[in-house]
Amino acid sequence: MKIKICGITCLEDARRALEAGADLLGFNFYLPSPRSITPEKCAQILSGLNKDQFDFQTVGVFVNETPTNIEAILRLCELDLAQLSGDEPPELLDALQGRAFKAIRPVNMNSAIEDARVYARLGLTPALLVDAFQPQKYGGTGRTGDWLAARDLADHYSILLAGGLTPGNVMGAIEQVHPWGVDVASGVESAHGCKDPIKLIEFVKAARSRDKEV
Q: Is 52 a catalytic residue?
A: no
Phi-psi region of 105 (alpha: psi -120 to 50; beta: other; left: phi over 0): beta
Asked if 126 and 181 touch (Cβ cutoff 8 Å), the reply is: yes
Distance CA 85, CA 69 (A): 15
Residue 61 carries which DSSP code? E
Distance CA 41, CA 138 (A): 22
Q: Is 194 a catalytic residue?
A: no
Distance CA 9, CA 195 (A): 9
Q: Which of 13, 115, 131, 146 is catalytic?
A: 131
Active site amino acids: 6, 131
